[in-house]
Amino acid sequence: MADNEFAPSLRNRLINKLGIGAGVVDAGMSSLATFLTGLIAATILGRAELGVYAIFFTAFNFAQVIANNLIYIPSEVVAVAWPPEHRTRVLTQSIFYGILPSLAGALAIGIATLVAAQTSTADVVTPLTITAAATTFLWPTQDHIRRMLHIADRSWAAASVSAVQVAISGASIAVMLLLDVTAEWIPFGALAIANLLSLLLGLILARPWSAERALERLNPHSLMRSGVWLMIGVGIEPVAAFGAASIITFTAGLEVLGYAEAARIAAVPIIVIGVGLGYVMGPRVMRAAISHDREVSRHNHHRFNTFLVGASAVYALAVGFDWVGNPMAFLVPKAYIVPGLVIATVVANVFLAAIVLVVQELTAANRSRVIGIVSMISAPFQLLAAATAGVTQAFARPLSLTIGNGLRLFGTSRAIAGIYGEPSESDNENAHV
């Protein structure tokens, strides 16, 4: 009997580990695509032009949350309660409802155009505007398809989509360099091509049109009602980051922002780890929130935070300093012009990555309003930190991110307890077993 009990337990642990591995591979591949484009931007653009790229990249991070949080994530919350074999069928509805919000996000890139035009020329701003808008339109849908594959317990299918994405990104960069395309067209241009083709592959793998219809019809008005607070809560962070980048530009100059952008590129793997773990553990804490299962929630948060902090510490030791064994010092040398800037950015990214799981859990528990309120409270502090750029220079960016996301993490983490109420006596006993 003990053997019969042991086998399923071992199998489940193996499946969990494989799932986490696929999630990290997926996030890693997807982020490698943006890392490659960021790396090529840091290589072929001048310091001032890299600062302009940083403005557009920050605007892209803000603009793509519109479709993601208004339509796509609320759709995922609906689908996560369905049997796994039915979940991807939600895509036939969610993608249709997400077209207009995706277009709105693409148009929002115009804000970056207005800011960049104050300090740069049309031959730099125009190609970045067009390619960033195209990427912003496509990215949320491709990301949604991959998340739905994870939710449907098909994590390796999601990883294959992002593998194609990174392969096409690299190939597109190589072809455009070979054709001597103007530098400003290349970073976001390669990302747009990669997202379009990998999106089509994701649809083929998900097969949302196959077999019977979805278990229920989505109500777009209901999705948006639940998504508005989520969009505010999740969207305020990149909006504040965009505001901070603009403040740093006007206070300390584009070159200073360029150094901070190079450090961001070097510290990207921390976000990869957080997003990858979130792909796999997110559906688990979402189901825990729906079923009020405190133990599942606590177990997954413990695993998530332990892995994130441990991996970040190792990474900081490996790439935080300019030394001969540091590959980032070779790949992104501009990140190390200001000593200590990469370390500060790694710390900032730990706080940003740690929020991933908390936001998913609060969303599933219909607590998106809390995310919005906490984000509105933290944003002014983030902007005030950026305003120190006259003194702190490039450090103003990681400082503003650490303060803003640290406050968001503190506020949203405290709200998690409200989902499950006060711990019962049996919960306290289990916690000590």
- Please choose, from the candidates 364, 215, 218, 368, the residue with its C-alpha nearest in 3D space to the C-alpha of residue 291: 364
Q: Is the dihedral of CA 192, 193, 194, 197 positive or negative?
A: positive
Q: What is the mean pLDDT of residues 234-258?
A: 86
What pLDDT digit, counting tens, does each position of 77-126 carry? 888 777 777 788 888 888 898 899 999 989 989 988 998 888 888 889 99
For residue 334, give the DSSP letter. G
Confidence category of residue 218, pLDDT binned at 50, 70, 90: confident
For 411, the 3-state DSSP assignment is helix
Q: Distance between CA atoms of 402 and 416, rounded to whole angstroms? A: 21
Domain regions of the chain by residue span: 21-422
* Cβ atoms of 112 and 132 closer than 8 Å: yes
Give the number of other CB atoms < 10 A from CB of residue 21: 15
What φ, ψ does residue 165 adopt, rounded to 5°? -60, -50
Res 24 pLDDT > 80: no
- State yes or no: pLDDT of 158 exceeds 80: yes
CB distance 277 to 416 below 8 Å: no
**Cα–Cα distance for residue pair 243/238, rounded to 1 Å:** 8
- Statement: residue 348 has pLDDT above 60: yes
Helix, strand, coil content of the chain in percent (nearest 5): 85, 0, 15
> 214 pLDDT band (50/70/90 cuts)?
low
Q: Quick check: 136 and 189 in contact, CB under 8 A?
A: no
